[in-house]
Copies of this chain bind each other. A is one copy, B any other.
């Protein structure tokens, strides 16, 4: 600790309990732990020195961006140092010709798009926490967002990163262009949840802002008919910029909260955004409206102004806090299934909800099958949390059974170590461990997150349903 204090400027190492309190959890507040200390370096050289010291004395290091993560990926350890990148806030360059921005890792997601806006460009991944979350954290978790159906996840939008390894070396991964020789360490690094190194700088792709964006709201008399619409829209060649679904519980909660004009009697609602050149968008709207009506939509509303579009989105974007108003607590799940399995998944979730006696609101990225069931409960009743966790586990198990995966965009963190044992078999887990060792031989970086030990999985035993029972059934025609 003495050595760390010497390596850092005045005030950059926190160790008093009241100073540590803000760092005890991330966005998944059910997991809390005070760290041993918090370092807030200002320069790359300081980050390198911190890691050199910590690796020498084997002190665990927990990298942290804005702490908005939802899987306890930034959960501290009582024997570990939190390494906050909050002071890496500079936008170093915006290059409109190459359509790239080079930024320090503590720059917020939103700030990148703001810096690119004068050139008609934007940074595509848009997690709901965009105002606060940092690009470093986005890279660690491979963040998604409403628009990743069309524009991809973080991994599709980052060209290069500078990282500091556990040994304190500064590496550049990736390049300014599409391809780069050597192994693709950049893609390996993105989504590695702080286990392989600490991002200090990133070069991201910028995209031209589409000249026109229109939103269609469609209400359905049943969840099945909404799911059918998702299939028709995608099956007919449309590529919506976003395609979101909400069920009745979520619709009512959101409408009560923001008064977006949602039809509160609908069993399910789809929000379908189309963007591009104005003529292209009009063609797409016509095709989308036909498909929605054919699937059974009994109410359609098309945004006629930018204000209306933003208002309709506001309901969806406020859905989590809105659900927070109708129950004392909620637990947000994150799993992904093939689009075809959406009706089956929602039916089974409803059955499980009944069986466990817990209400579940469904708000999710239907276009890419990324489910976010919100389990409502009351944390003041201790037995309820236990039931919630069991139900959550069953929902993730269901995702794997349906050929999907146990995450969509929130990462594994400290939260989903057990479900990882459902998803992967020993040979794959062993390969993950070998990769970890290849970057961090003494395991000082974010230990105990993201990848479970083989021992832990062995103890969980025979729960395994690898990659779904029917990953590729007969070709389905429609």
Contact = CB atoms under 8 A, between A and B. Distances in A.
Interface of A: 92-99, 102, 120, 142, 144, 148, 152-153, 155-156, 165, 169-172, 175-188, 190-192, 195-196, 203, 208, 231, 234-235, 237, 239, 276-277, 279-280, 283, 336-340, 368-370, 403-409, 411-412, 416, 420, 423-424, 427-428, 431-432, 434-439, 450-451, 467, 471-472, 475-478
A204 to B, nearest CB: 13
Contacts of A472: 92-93, 95, 102, 203
A192 B183 contact: yes
Nearest to A436: B183
Contact of A181 (B203, B420, B478): B420
Number of copies: 2
A309 to B, nearest CB: 21
Contacts of A171: 427-428, 431
Given A172-B467, A181-B407, A439 B434 contact: yes
Given A96-B475, A176-B338, A435 B181 contact: no
Contacts of A165: 427, 431
B176 A403 contact: yes
Contacts of A276: 280
Contact of A234 (B92, B97, B467): B97
User: Which one of A98, A283, A403 has the greatest number of beta carbons of chain B within 10 Å?
Assistant: A98
Contacts of A412: 181-182
Chain A binding surface, main DSSP class: loop
B471 A176 contact: yes
Contacts of A338: 98, 176-177
A124 B8 CA distance: 50
Given A234-B97, A235-B97, A476-B95, A411 B184 contact: no
A293 to B, nearest CB: 20
Contacts of A98: 338-340
Contact of A152 (B178, B234, B435): B178
A358 to B, nearest CB: 24
A296 to B, nearest CB: 18
A170 B475 CA distance: 25
A279 B282 CA distance: 10
A278 to B, nearest CB: 9
Contacts of A102: 472
A176 B97 contact: no
Contact of A368 (B94, B177, B184, B340): B177
Given A96-B475, A438-B438, 7 more contacts: A97-B476, A99-B234, A172-B467, A179-B336, A179-B407, A181-B420, A183-B195
Nearest to A424: B182
A182 B420 contact: yes
A208 B237 contact: yes
Contacts of A431: 165, 171, 185, 438-439
Contacts of A188: 183-185, 187-188, 435
A368 B471 contact: no
Given A97-B340, A120-B237, A427-B171, A178 B191 contact: no
B208 A179 contact: no
Given A178-B368, A234-B99, A427 B169 contact: yes
Contacts of A180: 405, 407
